[in-house]
Amino acid sequence: MTSGEVRKAVAPSLHPPCRTPRRCVPAAMRELRTCLPLVFGLLAAPTVEAAPVTLPVSPDPAPASPAVGRAVLDHHEDAAAPVLIRAGRVIVRPGKEVEGVDVLVEGGRIKAVGADLTAPEGARVIEGAVVCAGFIDPWSVLGVDGGSLGDRGAGPATRTVDGFDPYAETSWREAALASGVVAARIQAGAGSRIGGLGALVRNDAAASLDSILLPDACVAAQVEGGDVFERLDSIEKIVSEIQKGERYRRSQIEFEADLAEWEEAIAKAEEELEDDFKKAKKDRKKEMEEAREKGKDFKEKRYKEDSRPKPPRFDADAEVMARVASGELPIVIEAHRVPELRLLLERAAELPRTRWILAGASDGHLIAEDLADSGMTVLVIPERRGLGGRFGAKELQLAGQLQAAGVPVMIGTAGDSEVRDLPLLAAMAVGHGLDREAALAAITTRPARAFDLADRAGTVEVGKEAHLVVLSGDPLASSSRVQFVLLGGDVVVEQE
């Protein structure tokens, strides 16, 4: 495959009229980056269990296996020294918290969570009021090559990692780490209807290709068009690509069945030929003598067999969309207005195995109950691109309105330098009606689960990779400070 066939990655979707990448956080918000706003009032204190709880300790936790068929690039954490975190409170996951326990990290993973753990020889001991899983930005462009942001030639097989520059934007990575953001989904193909394979990357300040957690975390698509008819047609074309992938996978399965049947028939024929070999040899000799006596040429009888079944012609795009159709890969589709949202729900019902993640959904509050019934997770972004508005009160309220109707919500920044604002956006959403636990889940457990990283990150549990944040207080409280950040078991941030 030539370099021209493999398109580089691009940023999140663009504003329809101008197709120019836009930044997601206005100047007023940028001034609040170093502390969470007090204007939302005090957040409710979390409920904790009355007595300390000791969680099970695995003597040698083995890495969990990724989903079948997924490519996983593991970071090598053997060099990470042991770390013992003495915590006042551990948020195991949103809704489950324990007090007075320690977290032991060895080999880059969480070795134990329990009371009065003993520090191994050579371990570093740190202390903090609260420990929780590191934050995950489910939509960013941090590290995506700037020259590829406007590429309009991406397709389903485009790999975002091909446009990932792990050595760029170091200061932005450091700022994001300082706010507790340990990983992000980056996505190609904002200029195309289907933007290809998105990736999950670790937010290493000194990044490398080892920073890639999942090179194939999802496929992204965006509804295009200047009017409602074009946007509805865009949805139909996206669904058509998924159905094409479904047919392609079916043809592969049929080929495998035909091939197995053909091989069985050939094996049976060979067995019969072997049994009749002596007789066939004798008959052949007799026929040759008769032909010679009659002065005729002897003609060999040629063995005829059914032709070998031909496999379907390889189609890289159809191969990727087949994974989407089967539910192996989720598809993140950006849509905003009610007509296309309703059509999307109708078409999604026809593809029950496909895992849909709705991005944007600016008018989603108008059909919140339908979204809840569909089971779709909604990724709220900090700008109403579909309607051309800026990030404001209505957009902040959207997450709370959807969550109140029973819609699972994630929150993303859709930016690069703005990744540092992820916990700020979650806190602002809390101030506009989003439940505190749902807000924390929106930047931890839900992105991990949505993009198949839940067996490795998103919670503070034995066996998980140690991507952790140690804070002076509640993760989304305005008065809290990030004290330490662990990335793969290494203490990468230490702040007074």
Q: Is residue 465 part of a domain?
A: yes
Pair (271, 137) in one structural domain: no
φ, ψ of residue 421 to 5 degrees: the values are -90, 5
Pair (366, 405) in one structural domain: yes
Say how many C-beta atoms besides its own lie within 10 A of residue 305's C-beta: 10
Pair (373, 234) in one structural domain: yes
Q: Is residue 85 part of a domain?
A: yes
Q: Is residue 23 part of a domain?
A: no
Pair (392, 261) in one structural domain: no
> How large a percentage of the chain has pLDDT more than 70?
73
Residue 43, CA distances (Å) to 36, 412, 432, 474 in order:
11, 21, 12, 9
User: The domain spanning residue 177 has which CATH number?
Assistant: 3.20.20.140
Contact residues for 287 (Cβ-Cβ < 8 A; gap 6+): 298
CB 320 within 8 A of CB 245: yes
Confidence grade of residue 477 (pLDDT, cut at 50, 70, 90): very high
Residue 18 or residue 425, greater confidence? 425
Looking at residue 305, what is its pLDDT? 55
Taking every pair of C-alpha atoms in the chain, what is the biggest distance, in angstroms?
Answer: 111
Q: Is residue 330 part of a domain?
A: yes
Q: Compute the C-alpha angle 263/268/274, nearest 5°.
A: 125
Collapse the DSSP code of 365 into the 3-class scheme (helix H, G, I; strand E, B; otherwise coil) and give the result.
helix
The C-alpha atoms of residue 159 and residue 144 are separated, in whole angstroms, by 11
Q: Which domain holds residue 374?
A: 39-244+317-494
The C-alpha atoms of residue 474 and residue 44 are separated, in whole angstroms, by 10
The average pLDDT across 40-52 equals 38
Q: Is residue 213 part of a domain?
A: yes
Query: Residue 82 gets which letter from DSSP?
Result: P
Looking at residue 283, what is its pLDDT? 64
Residue 171 is inside which H or E element, if any? Answer: helix 170-178
In this predicted model, what pLDDT tens digit does every residue of 370-398 receive, in sequence order?
A: 999 999 999 998 654 444 444 344 677 89
Pair (183, 219) in one structural domain: yes
Pair (366, 288) in one structural domain: no
> At residue 5, does pLDDT exceed 50?
no
Looking at residue 304, what is its pLDDT? 53
Pair (207, 355) in one structural domain: yes
Pair (288, 233) in one structural domain: no
Query: Residue 394 gets which letter from DSSP?
Result: H
> At residue 19, does pLDDT exceed 80?
no
Pair (286, 377) in one structural domain: no
The average pLDDT across 472-494 equals 94
Q: Is residue 13 part of a domain?
A: no
What does pTM read for this prediction? 0.78
Number of domains in the chain: 2
Confidence grade of residue 464 (pLDDT, cut at 50, 70, 90): very high
> How large a percentage of the chain has pLDDT more than 90?
56
Pair (349, 215) in one structural domain: yes
Collapse the DSSP code of 10 into the 3-class scheme (helix H, G, I; strand E, B; otherwise coil) and give the result.
coil
Pair (282, 329) in one structural domain: no
The average pLDDT across 351-357 equals 96
The C-alpha atoms of residue 141 and residue 137 are separated, in whole angstroms, by 10
End-to-end CA, the chain: 51
Helices (H), 326-475: 338-349, 368-374, 393-404, 422-431, 436-441, 445-450
Looking at residue 226, what is its pLDDT? 85
Pair (49, 105) in one structural domain: yes
Looking at residue 145, what is its pLDDT? 83
Summary mean pLDDT of the chain: 80
Residue 80, CA distances (Å) to 107, 123, 173, 209, 485 in order:
6, 10, 20, 18, 14
Q: Is residue 279 part of a domain?
A: yes
Looking at residue 291, what is its pLDDT? 65
Q: Is residue 307 part of a domain?
A: no
CA 292, 296, 298, 299: dihedral to nearest 10 degrees?
A: -170
